[in-house]
Amino acid sequence: RKPTQARAAAHAVEIVGVSKRFGDVTALDEVSLQLDSGEFLAVLGPSGCGKTTLLRCMAGFERIDSGRIALDGRAVALPGIHLPPHRRQVAVVPQEGALFPHLSVAENVGFGLSRRDRHRSARIAECLELVGLGGLGARMPHELSGGQQQRVALARALAPRPPLVLLDEPFSALDASLRVDLRRDVRRALHEDGATAILVTHDQAEALSMADRVAVMRDGRVRQVGTPEEVYGTPVDAWVASFVGEADLVDLVDETATEVRTPLGRVEVLPGVPGATRVVVRPEQVQLAPADDPARPAPEGSVRARVTTVDFHGHDALVTLELAGGLTAQARTGAFPPAVGDTVDAWVEGPCRAVPGAET
Ligand code: ATP
């Protein structure tokens, strides 16, 4: 006899065909997602696509209309079954923080920790340190800025080392440099605790930099799930291509073409998804050289363009080009971009991917 097969480990999160309507609005339309234990998933999508509703259904703040949600192998939501939030072992960081106004910062952070836990104060201090608020434990919530309150809410959720953490835009009220530091530190803390986490965001840079996998949502539906490299490098359609990162889309008449003529010259096309109608040109593939520079002659097939805007980011810049016929394209340059009004030679380097669908 064969040994009994071990039962396959349950997914930390299993969402199967979940729909949720508010009157005429379908906020979630047959959403399915699975997460392994310890995985970090970002749910990325534009405002109103259903991200917060999905989180609220997982946490138990909303009832689902159809489908099924299981956490750690246990069904918590089915039509007719609805486990209340406190019985789901889920930590939630809501968009607005929502601290207890009558408790100090330290007591807010320690809220989920047992009073008998002799490591309680050390853990509170550690979590305040993690979010960059060490030393502010005695303050009351109304004595903090909006961004500081958001960070206390984050510390409060992480303090009891929950197995599943749901984060709703937790970094939105923070300034740019603090946001980058906190994303990295929170990511590391969750990883060290082996926590499973879902981050809701409309910020593609945040999703791509933090997550193991990204679920891209639109109009209540999951359009694509994959690693950051997959959703950026092999988008399933033109909408995902332009929502996740910048892209110029060029029409593709013949789906089997291996090369296409574009306003930026000839572009090599990778074998695409069946039904492909558009070619995705990423700005980092667009190369620029000063026009008529004898020291750096542009390669054959390059086109003339005029620089109309330069969006400078410090380490790089996004440059908008005006091409023949009034068409535009975008190029990403290094820290020394051309100036507005410059004439440049432009060309596309490397093959581009072909995808189906309209942009919007
Ligand atoms: P944002 O990024 O702006 O927070 P979101 O992607 O989180 O948006 P949801 O808040 O989930 O989107 O909303 C999805 C849709 O459901 C929207 O059309 C919204 O107006 C609608 N909706 C959400 N909650 C309710 C509610 N309680 N009653 C009625 N409609 C709602």
ipTM of the complex in this document: 0.95
Measured in Å, residue 194 CA sits from the centre of ligand 1 at 30
Query: In which residue ranges of the chain is CATH 2.40.50.140 found?
Result: 247-360
Residues near 213 by beta carbon (within 8 Å), at least 6 away in sequence: 39, 40, 41, 42, 225, 226, 227, 228
Q: Using CA positions, which residue lies closest to atom 16 of ligand 1?
A: 27
Nearest CA to ligand 1 atom 11: 50
* Helix (H) / strand (E) containing 192: helix 176-193
- Rounded to whole angstroms, the Cα distance separating 345 from 347 reads 7
pLDDT in tens, 188-213: 999 999 999 999 999 999 999 999 99
CATH 3.40.50.300 in the chain is located at 13-233
Look at ligand 1, atom 17, and give the residue with the nearest C-alpha.
48
Question: H helices of 217-268, where?
Answer: 228-233, 238-243
CB 155 within 8 A of CB 188: no
* Mutation test residue for ligand 1: of 26, 29, 51, 58, the one with most atoms within 8 Å of CB: 51
CATH code at 13-233:
3.40.50.300
Q: Which atom of ligand 1 is found nearest the CA of 53? A: 11
Q: Whose CA is nearest to atom 1 of ligand 1?
A: 47
Residue nearest atom 27 in ligand 1 by C-alpha distance? 22
Cα 323 to middle of ligand 1, angstroms: 40
What's the rounded Cα separation, in Å, for the pair 61 and 82? 10
Indicate the DSSP class of residue 211. -
Ligand 1 pocket: which of 18, 19, 22 to mutate (most atoms <8 Å of CB)? Answer: 22
Pocket test for ligand 1, best of 18, 49, 221 (most atoms within 8 A of CB): 49
Cα dihedral 149, 45, 204, 191, rounded to 10, equals 60
Residue with CA closest to ligand 1 atom 10: 52
Q: Which atom of ligand 1 lies closest to the CA of 220?
A: 14
Please check whether residue 348 is in contact with residue 270, taking contact to mean a CB–CB distance below 8 angstroms. no
Identify the residue whose C-alpha is closest to ligand 1 atom 7. Answer: 52
CATH topology of domain 247-360: OB fold (Dihydrolipoamide Acetyltransferase, E2P) (2.40.50)
Atom number of ligand 1 nearest to Cα 202: 2
What tokens appear for 156 in the block?
Answer: 């409060």
Q: Tell me, what's the pLDDT at 6?
A: 47
Nearest CA to ligand 1 atom 5: 48
Per-residue pLDDT of the chain (360 residues; tens, 9 = 90+): 444 444 456 799 999 999 999 999 999 999 999 999 999 999 999 999 999 999 999 999 999 999 999 999 999 999 888 999 989 989 998 877 689 999 999 999 999 998 998 999 999 999 999 999 998 999 999 999 888 898 999 999 999 999 999 999 988 878 888 888 889 989 999 999 999 999 999 999 999 999 999 999 999 999 999 999 999 999 999 999 999 989 999 888 887 888 898 889 999 999 777 888 899 999 999 999 988 888 878 888 899 999 999 999 888 999 999 998 888 999 999 878 899 999 999 999 989 999 988 655
Element (H, E) at 185: helix 176-193
- Residue identifier of the C-alpha nearest atom 20 of ligand 1: 48
Q: Which residues have CB under 6 Å of ligand 1?
A: 22, 25, 27, 45, 47-53, 202
For residue 26, how far is its CA from the centre of ligand 1 (angstroms)?
A: 9
